[in-house]
Amino acid sequence: MKQGEDYSKHRESADEELIARFQQGDNYAFDLLVIRYKDPLLNYVFRFLGDRTDAEDIVQETFYRLYKNKHYYKEIAKFSTWIYTIAGNLAKTELRKRKRRNLFSINYYMSTDKDYDLPDDQTSPEKDANTIITDDIIQQSVDKLSPKFKQVIILRDIQGFSYEEISDIIKIPLGTVKSRVNRARLKLQEDLKYLMKDIT
């Protein structure tokens, strides 16, 4: 069978079906999982680390771990939560490494106190809010959160996971997820409220 036919045959398959096929030796199923998850995972890890190159490296490592440890997956869990757990753990490890490196770097003390680009004084309240609170500003504010708050806000508000799914990914109780999401949102609001006074 041609590769293209295989791709079209499996394109609509559920993740769990693809991982099952991959576990049985079908490498096309692995390719499809990579195609399906590389961008969502890249965005997740990028928002976590704030660096595209590092994020791509972490996502590659995530897929390599999937390739190497495919038999560890059991169908009791959703594939998406499993792969996000792997990526999240790798991203957190990377953050810890950075923290250790930065403890000995003068830049650490400066980087924790980043400045925003202030909006133009001529900005009118009617101006599109998205041009005032840019993606960079959002990212800088997310970066200020501690990893446990950062992770839940990315999964909930950027990636759109349900509280239950987040609970499965991070392996913490549902109530803790809800509480962390609430606190993370309030921290962001506190951090950015001076930019939102005219636009909301």
DSSP symbol at 72: G
42 is an interface residue for another protein by CB under 8 A = yes
101 is an interface residue for another protein by CB under 8 A = no
109 is an interface residue for another protein by CB under 8 A = no
Subset of 50-89 contacting another protein (CB under 8 A): 52, 55-56, 59-61, 63-64, 67-68
Distances (CA, A) of 113 to 145, 160, 168, 188: 12, 29, 33, 15
Smallest distance from another protein to CB 90, Å = 13
Q: How many Cβ atoms from other residues are within 10 Å of residue 117's Cβ?
A: 10
Q: Toward another protein, which CB reaches closer, 16 or 51?
A: 51
Distance CA 53, CA 74 (A): 31
156: three-class secondary structure by DSSP = helix
34 is an interface residue for another protein by CB under 8 A = yes
Judged by CB under 8 A, the residue of 31, 51, 54, 143 near another protein is 31
List the x/- string, 115-144, binding to another protein by CB under 8 A: --------------xx--x-x--xx-----
Distance CA 93, CA 76 (A): 26
